[in-house]
Structure 1
């Protein structure tokens, strides 16, 4: 017959250094913490579930590191959910700050002629998806107005390679923005 320990007993054992005891606490409370985080973060689908699972993992790591600070061992589930709440708030605050930084940055970025302001994020994402050499050529020649020769010299690439990188990069950017390569 398996001995069923209380949360308080598992916490005491974990504080004494038992990884297995903390593992049992995680097993016992992970569904509650993950469910709480999924409801806190909102959203549906696999991305929202993955986000909640990532935060739950962070919660349990923080819990392990901070277990000695737990004042009421029998209340470990509530304590873990409190950690999870702070993690969720931090993540949401970080996302808001990131969105504000992105918005401020987009206000200062000049876009190539013919690109609508609302397409700037799509353009930025499409640029990030380009291979590094192609992105460097596109950034220098199309965004910064360098000649193909200047870019070839700066990037230590053959002139023909720079030209083909620019052609491929331009085509991929136009496709990402829903345009055509009529030029």
Structure 2
């Protein structure tokens, strides 16, 4: 087993029946998937881990549906997103989750408690799909194309969701809202 294997090589081995290869894929991608889920769900580690576990189990079961073995990360985040949507629909505690998430992040110096609460409210008011786009593109630094692929949304929709979400968050912090 020489060198670091690519995602495509690990997918090939997993499709051939290697549990170890799939475990390596999970190890490689679990941190970004869990971070995405924490931001999307707005909750703590436990809920993100539960949804991530469901997503990785679903990924193992549907590995043959992966069209591009090199595109494992967006595919996994897409599965995680659908699992998160199921969780959001079954339990409408978005505002409380957003509050926990926002309390856990480091805001820029000079952001007052009042501004932080306004940001909590602004995040709580964002629809789940807008919140997911904001989490991937603004918090995680994904491209709009990667987010579109992962969330199974048209590219233009992702771009408008990010712009709308950014504008609402800036407005909550007292910034310009002309893009809203």
Q: Normalized against structure 1, the TM-score is what?
A: 0.49
Larger helix share, 1 or 2: 1
Q: Normalized against structure 2, the TM-score is what?
A: 0.50
Which of the pair has the greater relative contact order for Cα pairs under 8 Å at 6+ separation? 2
